[in-house]
Structure 1
Amino acid sequence: MSKKLIIAEKPSVAADIARALGGFAKHDDYFENDTYVVSSAIGHLLELACPEEYEVKRGKWSFAHLPVIPPHFALQPIQKTEARLKLLLRLIKRKDVDSLVNACDAGREGELIFNYIAQHAQNSKPVERLWLQSMTPQAIRDGFSTLRSAREMQGLADAAVCRSESDWLVGINGTRAMTAFNSKTGGFHLTTVGRVQTPTLALMVEREDRIRKFEPRTYWELEGVFSCAVGVYRGKWFDEKFKGKDDDEHARADRLWDEARAAALQQKCVGKGGSVKEEAKASSQLSPLLYDLTSLQREANSRFGFSAKATLGLAQALYEKHKVLTYPRTDARALPEDYRDTVGATLAMLTGEGVGKGHDEATLARYAPFAHQILTAQWVGPNKRIFNNAKISDHFAIIPTLQAPRHLSEPELKLYDMVVKRFLAVFYPAAEYLITTRITRVEGEPFKTEGKVLVNPGWLAVYGREAQEGEEGNLVAVQPKERVKTDEVVLSEHQTRPPARYSEATLLSAMEGAGKTMDDEELRAAMAGRGLGTPATRAQIIENLLAEQYLHREGRELLPTAKAFSLMTLLNGLGIPELTAPELTGEWEWKLARMEAGEMSRSEFMQEIAAMTERIVARAKTYDSDTIPGDFGELATPCPKCGGLIKETYKKFQCQGCDFSLWKIVAGRQFEAAEIDELLTQRRIGPLTGFRNKMGRPFNAIIQLNAENSPEFDFGQGSGGDGTAEAVDFSQHESLGACPKCGARVVAHGMSYVCERSQGPAKNCDFRSGTIILQQAIEPDQMQKLLRSGRTDLLKDFVSARTRRKFSAYLVRAADGKVGFEFEKREPRTPARKPRATVEKTGSPDAAGAATVSSGRKKITS
């Protein structure tokens, strides 16, 4: 008897199909009855490979072998899932299987997964397409009654293959071309690029460039302190004529840019009477939408510091291992319209009633009151904000399943709790507020005070107090026509701040929203809802950028490295905007959508991609590293060897009269022209921060020119090559204060502040403290304070060597002369908590991240 083989994308979907159709016997990794065999892939089982005759091994990449545009693409199994591929091949080739049903996810990637399997199996049997947007049993049965033909899906199949092959062509040729370019001068300098990876990096480099070039501006704010019959309240002065930021992104209605004007307003209003006008408005706030993967990753990073990769891993475990969440790799934030019954059953599970033993009763107990309320009030009704087929693509939003939680780890429980609370909150009514705006007018000048009172918590009840922190309470009441007195007008000085560095949360948002500012309306529409990458790939893109040393993670911040800036300089200099701007993705999406609709052929699209690939390689062949255009200048200091002019190029500071040159990037740090000028003039510069060792850890060092005018690291250890101490003459050094151990003078020496008796053969004191500690520069005036009073000012830019997070602390001198930290006293959050004031050792100069070598010096070769 002939049978149909149904191939789903994931094992869970195969199991759902078997349950919906009924009558199946379970085998190892497939189900079978008299009519069907049901099995599944495990995501992608095959990937594109370069045909063997076109393959060139890494280390031998050169322009002679580029571009690589093979006439056909080979497929190779993905090693970790090869066993599943072999099973599907056996099932496809069974004699009793006379046709196939593609039951992979309803979208471009699902089409690609199935077609690659069929291609690899050299399948000639008829294929039909199951198209599902809901996984309820009835939706599955309905889907099988309306199977689509392979002809109907040809446009989608072509678009899927074109997207895959195009990414391969651009990634392989771009990476090999840029690597070949950077390796011209010797060595192998891997320089990876990609359609999504490189525009993402461009976003970060552009932001970091703005931060570096940012010049703070001073502004002033005025805050009035007003007294009325029943108490005191505060209000901030604002400009009623302010209409917007115009061209000044830092402009605000409550900011004054002229100190004299601010002081005049202060004098004008202090001690004077004022009139009060109030307006109260009701306001409501709907709950946030259900999670898709990107919003889940974003919030988990903001709340718990989870990386995008970690969040995806936890969500996958909750889906695959514990089966308590639905499929996480989704970009949808709505549910299918036929999912109301399933939602009701899920809410019933969350009440804890009728759930079998062994589940986490304490966890369900937290959700039970809210689940009961939703069911009792019958809040699960038709609602396009929640149930909307038009807002679903391959998958629907992430929600809890009918499986009760048990044996979850702490991180898993945190993520599960986020999803369940969001699921419960979306069915609750809006939160209702009363927002009061009070304008106090003194001598004609307006001061604004706002109060926000929660009238009805609505969905906020699900979150308890955590969602209400920071809410402003009632204002002190002012009677109608009451005059208030201006007790004080506080004038405060502030400075504008540069844009914040990207965290994973904000980078995910930027990737998701990339393309929204495009001028081309068609490209902007093509990028809508897509952005750079997909929810399933964004975490890996960030991890790839970290692995390739384009980014470093510092606490929750992501910092582009010198290698990232160098790549942007190269691509911009070569004139290859396709690899740095989201427009490439937008153009591809627009053309692929036309292909899906049958308006563009696969061959036409691939010819355009091949032409673009050839252009990228040709541009890279056109230039040498010395001829890459960029914002390069000349040094003010002449060459130390010949006195000639030194010019900056893409890779070096190069003398125009001889062979003298200095690399721009050393140990992951890029030198500025002013720093090279100082090095050439003084023959020594530092200590400098920002170097990275091969493990990616930061260190600080002094750079000096040796007798041959070659730069070398000097870590300031003060020892000779044989390990014996060198005698140092400190007589010309300025004293910063008395040594806390022996009373002699403390002076600056290399990377440290040292006692003058700590050097030379007869040293008898070991006092030493770094000029840079945990990436915080300790200026001489702060060392003077430490030696004089035993304590520095509060220093705010220490970076923990363990967590990579910034922290503030005082440096303090202990009774035995050792230097340590004292942490800032903070107001207790609760009366029971005491403020922290502990002293910890700062450690040796190595705590600042300085690498050490036996001689204290290390030649810089590149």
Structure 2
Amino acid sequence: MKVIIAEKPSVAKNIADALKIKSKKDGYFEGEGYFITWAFGHLLQLYDAKDYDSKMARWKMENFPFIPEQFQYKVKSDPRNRDRQDGGAAKQLRTIKSLIKKREVDGIISACDFDREGQIIGDTIIENINAGKRVYRLLLNEWTPNAILQGLNQLKSNEELLPLRNAGVSRQWADWVIGINLTSAATLKFQKGKGQALNIGRVLLPTLKIIYDRDKEIENFKPEKFFKLAALFRTKDGKEYEGFYTEGKEDKFKTKEYLDNISGQLNGAPAIVDDKTTEKKRELPPYLFNLSNLQGYITSKYKGWTSSKVLKTAQSLYEKKYITYPRTASNVLDDSLTGKAAKVLEVMKKGLPFEEEVRFRKSKRVFNSAKVDSHSAIMPTYLVPKSLTRDEAIVYEAVKNRFIMQFMPAAEHEETKIITKLRNADMKGFFVSKGRVQLTEGWKKVENIKSKEALLPSVNVNDEVETVKNKVSSHETKPPKPHTEKTLLKVMETCGRSYNEEDTTAEAMEAVLSGFSIGTPATRAETIKKLTDTGYISALGKNLQCTDLGRRLVETFPVKELFDLEFTGRLEKSLADIEKQKFDKERFLQLIYQFTKEAVQQIKTGEDVIIHEIASSKRSTEVLGKCPVCGNGVIEGFKGFGCSNWKNGCKFVVWKNDKFLATLRKKPTKTMVKQLLTKGSANVKGLTSKKGNKFNAILKYEKNPENDYFSWKMEFDKKF
């Protein structure tokens, strides 16, 4: 018998289903020579500082820097009470231990995700139990039955994954050391009042700096005026077309007077078609999705989506066996997947109106092992979903369509350029007209992408045309756009080396493949969410911007290396190199420890300024109404208005930073919550629309029928 440890219950069920095991016990499946059990992600966590030394229970500046001699793990804490063990985690660990210790068990198979986090989730559980039995590793990119059965016949020794484990442990320990020490020291030094700590992190601060820099660019931008001259020409058969005055390659001019002088020569002046070029151009489809590009695509196309939500949804599709591993940095497939991709394509194309145009072919643009970083690009599996949630359908369709596009014909269009010159006029330049006609839709049929066409009349070189009218127009240069999650993810992915989603320059690709980045595909979404939760950034629609707190932190916090993209990129590259056995784990950790000691000293000796001041206020225990879930009293807390029965598991809460209300530029108040609880609705004044208009509405906060969450509903009453 062997024990298989999956990362989550859903994955354990996938394995059991593939092996046709029906017998489910409390915390595991049994049959066919296997016990299949599971974790809930991390069952163990690193010790808190106070677990190593009781003096660390109170934050005192003289206690820092604090670096344990040896890192230790414990059962993860209850999220509602960090001083208590999570009961579910402790129970599941006991179940796993009892299975591993059975006499008939001669081996353990770690089936956690094939990445740094998955490796240390499995390893910490197995080492905590200290079974003394051989450990194998199941490495899969998808959880379909075929892949599982094949993977169980191709197990690796867990010892072969030591470099991956070293990289995961190095990341975990480094972030603990930097986070614990610098967050504590910074809060003691720069924060006045008690409340949420001044969160300092290795990945958090450089990401904040990217947004800060863009905000400053926009603030400091000074618009410059420029002018353009457009002329309308008419052919002998009465067809009209527009051209823009150009000298060399420049059609923007700094002085209006210069163009006014040329404009004065145009009225009714004869002109001639001096040149005409027509060129056919091929458009290839965008590359397969990696996680960052999938997050960017969804968040920019659909309202209300965050990169965190995209990852969560993609992870759900992965665990349901419908897509391959989503936490990947690659946008191509490994050559070994050629046969699998061909079979998937046969399934995916059936019934499409353009099925005959979908043809499998192997190309370097899709299959290229040299450009695969650990995991291939995201693609659908051969299993076709029978039912999906609305969110899952959005992400699945994006992945499926992007895959099908790779095997459609290229889109083709024709570009025409006409050069028109005035006869007998004293001017250096000429007028340029551009036209575009779509010839073949190709891959654009998959998502019905319509290209803008600009039609030009049929003319020949030396044709005479008449100048009908002209106009000098005034324009201004525009400031850079605020960062969105899409643009921010791209900068994080390559540490600013590439801003273009489809950029495949050698430098940009090398940055991705070498691991030179801010965070990893698995952690970037959480970093953006954490920046919002800590109050360092805020979102206005899709645009991200620094809050006052975020700005003060960037401008005042003395450890400038943490804001440096190059510094962070080098650390992340070192972790990637540990995984590739090009860098030593102990050397990396010594660099982190030394940096942390110097950073704490910088904070201690830094200027005494207040970055964050928290107004002291006594929390009210006033009961605002009855909880609609369990009937207990709802009271105001630090982060929201929640049920007083939360310790026993009631999850009802109206968050003070509620995202829906934030889009309306409103925060919940005691009065609003009282009305919701007593009347079922609240009359709310002064809401703000996306266009900036003020309005009033009736808001309701109702439980969703399919889950335990509550959603807002808005109604309008003319009397209100």
| Bin for the TM-score computed over the shorter chain | 0.7 to 0.9
| Match in the other structure for 2:2 | 4
> Partner residue of 2:206?
199
* 8 Å CA contact 1:222, 1:490 repeated in 2: yes
1:604 alignment partner in structure 2 = 587
Equivalence for 1:355: none
How far the C-alpha of 1:568 sits from its partner, in A, is: 0.5
The change in CA–CA distance for 1:547 and 1:373 in structure 2 (over 3 A counts) is same
What CA distance in whole angstroms lies between the structure 2 residues aligned with 1:111 and 1:174? 27
Distance 1:512 1:416 in 2: 23
**1:236 CA drift (Å):** 1.7
AA aligned to 1:617 is V
- What pairs up with 1:382-397 in 2 under 5 angstroms? 382-397=362-377
Is residue 130–residue 144 contact of structure 1 (8 Å, CA) maintained in 2?
A: yes
Select the residue among 504, 512, 528 that pairs with 1:542.
Answer: 528
Q: Residue in 1 aligned with 2:406?
A: 426
Pick one of 607, 610, 625 that aligns with 2:608.
625
- The residue aligned with 1:264 is 261
Shift of 1:418: 2.4
Q: How far apart are 1:408 and its partner, in Å?
A: 3.6
**1:436 aligned partner:** 416
Are 1:182 and 2:190 counterparts? yes
Counterpart of 1:787 in structure 2 is none
**338-347 or 115-124, larger mean C-alpha shift:** 338-347
Q: Report the residue type matching 1:314 in the other structure.
A: T
Comparing 302-311 and 70-79, the one that deviates more:
70-79
- Counterpart CA distance in 2 for 1:524 and 1:390 is 11
1:351-500 alignment to 2 at 5 Å? 368-370=352-354, 372-373=355-356, 379-442=359-422, 443=425, 444-464=428-448, 467-469=449-451, 471-500=452-481
**Corresponding residue to 2:482 among 482, 497, 501:** 501
What is the match of residue 313 of structure 1? 312
Task: Give the direction of change, closer, same or farther, for the CA distance of 1:801–1:197 in structure 2 (3 Å limit).
Answer: farther
Deviation, structure 1 residue 115: 1.5
Correspondence for 1:172: 180
If asked which structure has higher relative contact order (CA below 8 Å, sep 6+), I would say 2
Once residues 60 and 212 of structure 2 are traced to their aligned partners in structure 1, the CA distance between those partners, rounded to angstroms, is 28
| Residue 278 (structure 2) aligns with | 280
Picking from 72, 75, 78, the partner of 2:73 is 75
Q: 1:325 & 1:601 partners in 2: Cα distance?
A: 34
Report the CA distance shift for 1:317/1:113 in structure 2 as closer, same or farther (over 3 A).
closer
SS at match of 2:126: helix
The answer as to whether partners of 1:515 and 1:583 remain within 8 angstroms in 2 is no
Match of 2:251 among 224, 236, 254: 254
**Does the 8 Å CA contact 1:4/1:37 hold for their aligned counterparts?**
yes
Q: Structure 1 residues 386, 625: closer, same or farther in 2, change over 3 A?
A: same
Q: 1-side partners of 2:561 and 2:514: how far apart?
A: 19
Q: How far, CA to CA, are the matches of 1:616 and 1:149 in structure 2?
A: 40
Q: After superposition, what is the alpha-carbon deviation per residue over 1:140-184, rounded to whole angstroms, capped at 9, x for unaligned?
A: 66655664444443333222211110011111112111111113x
1:531 aligns with 2:520: no
Alignment of 1:217-228 (within 5 A): 217-228=224-235
SS of residue matched to 1:224: strand
Partner Cα distance (1:67, 1:483) in 2: 81
Secondary structure of the corresponding residue to residue 471 of structure 2: strand
Give SS of 2:467's match.
Answer: strand
Q: Call closer, same or farther: CA 1:137–1:186 in 2, change over 3 Å.
A: closer
Aligned mates of 1:555, 1:544 — CA distance in 2: 18
Deviation at 1:48, TM superposition (A): 2.0
CA distance in 2, matches of 1:37, 1:694: 45
Q: What is the deviation of 1:603?
A: 2.6
Which of 104, 118, 138 does residue 112 from structure 2 map onto? Answer: 104
Give TM-score scaled by structure 2 length: 0.76
The code of the aligned residue for 1:490 comes to K
Distance change (3 Å), C-alpha of 1:172 and 1:843: farther
**Residues 126 and 586 from structure 1, CA distance in 2 versus in 1: closer, same or farther, beyond 3 angstroms?**
same
Deviations 1:500-533 (A, max 9, x none): 1112222222222325279xx9997477456222
Deviation at 1:68, TM superposition (A): 2.0
1:813-852 mapped onto 2 (5 Å cutoff): none
Q: Does 1:562 align with 2:548?
A: yes
Please provide the CA RMSD for this pair: 3.9
Cross-structure match for 2:492: 511
Q: How many residues align?
A: 615
CA–CA separation in structure 2 for the residues paired with 1:128 and 1:323 = 22
- Partner of 1:463, secondary structure, is coil
Match of 1:27?
A: 24
- 1:462-514 alpha-carbon deviations (Å, 9 max, x no partner): 222xx114x12431111331022222221111111211111222222222232
Q: Distance in 2 between matches of 1:63 and 1:603?
A: 27
Contact 2:495 2:569 in 1 (8 A): no
| Change in 2 beyond 3 A, CA 1:435/1:331 | same
Paired residue for 1:90, among 98, 102, 110? 98
5+ unaligned residues in a row in structure 1: which ranges? 243-252, 353-366, 627-649, 653-662, 668-692, 700-773, 775-799, 812-818, 821-839, 845-862
Deviates more, 1:481-490 or 1:261-270: 261-270
In the other structure, the counterpart of 2:122 is 114
1:516–1:528 CA contact under 8 A, matched in 2: no
Larger radius of gyration between Structure 1 and Structure 2: 1
Q: CA deviation at 1:344?
A: 5.2
Describe the SS at the equivalent of 1:459. helix
Aligned pairs (5 A) from 1:428-827: 428-442=408-422, 443=425, 444-464=428-448, 467-469=449-451, 471-516=452-497, 525=511, 528=514, 531-571=517-557, 574=558, 576-626=559-609, 801-802=687-688, 805-806=690-691
Q: 1:332 to 1:608 in 2, by over 3 A?
A: same
**Aligned partner letter, 1:254:** D
What is the TM-score when the length of structure 1 is the normalising length? 0.64
Cα separation, 2, equivalents of 1:162 and 1:429: 46
For structure 2, the 5+ residue unaligned runs are 79-85, 500-506, 617-654, 664-684, 697-715
Over the matched positions of the two proteins, sequence identity in percent amounts to: 32
Residue 402 of structure 1 deviates from its aligned partner by 4.0
What residue in structure 2 maps to residue 851 of structure 1?
none
Q: Secondary structure at the match of 1:498?
A: coil
The change in CA–CA distance for 1:344 and 1:594 in structure 2 (over 3 A counts) is closer
1:698 shift after superposition: 8.8
1:59-70 maps to which residues of 2 (within 5 A)? 60-70=58-68
Paired residues of 2:142 and 2:324 also in contact (CA < 8 A): no
* Partner of residue 156, structure 1: 164
Matches within 5 A, 1:292-303: 292-303=290-301
CA displacement at 1:201 relative to structure 2? 0.5
Change (3 A) 1:56 1:695: farther
Q: Distance in 2 between matches of 1:456 and 1:526?
A: 33
- How far the C-alpha of 1:25 sits from its partner, in A, is 5.6
Displacement of 1:119 after TM fit?
A: 2.3
After superposition, the C-alpha distances for 1:206-241 in whole angstroms (9 at most, x for unaligned) are 11011111111111111121111231111122331x
Deviations 1:726-757 (A, max 9, x none): xxxxxxxxxxxxxxxxxxxxxxxxxxxxxxxx
8 Å CA contact 1:229, 1:478 repeated in 2: no
Tell whether the 8 Å contact from 2:315 to 2:326 is kept in structure 1 after alignment. Answer: yes
Query: Are the aligned partners of 2:232 and 2:241 in contact in 1 as well (CA < 8 Å)?
Result: yes
